[in-house]
Amino acid sequence: DTEVTQTPKHLVMGMTNKKSLKCEQHMGHRAMYWYKQKAKKPPELMFVYSYEKLSINESVPSRFSPECPNSSLLNLHLHALQPEDSALYLCASSLKLASGTGELFFGEGSRLTVL
């Protein structure tokens, strides 16, 4: 199993809603990532988890709240988002931090639209 699975694939939410994005992998990877990608732009790193602990927060607004309940699962909780937060949110995993090339395996992303 070399898959990173993200749900939902599409999400539309209002600015007062609370929703969550989910990411799951069963490759035994111990590093997991959230990226944000705007149209026609490269992905931008948001958060990195290593062994279920938050390792990197790239100065992301607090309306985005990550959670890593176990080594296979990564969530991104969304609250009071703005229309400019509309984007593709990509989850990725790697074997662990600072290991060899650090190849990332990406999911298909969750397309978020904030109205």
Do residues 81 and 63 touch, judged by C-beta distance below 8 A? yes
97 is a contact residue toward other proteins (CB under 8 A): yes
11 is a contact residue toward other proteins (CB under 8 A): no
94 is a contact residue toward other proteins (CB under 8 A): yes
Give the residue from 24, 44, 47 showing the smallest Cα distance to 88: 44
Q: Which of 1, 16, 40, 84 binds other proteins (CB under 8 A)?
A: 40
53 is a contact residue toward other proteins (CB under 8 A): no
Tell me how far, at minimum, the Cβ of 87 lies from other proteins, in Å.
12
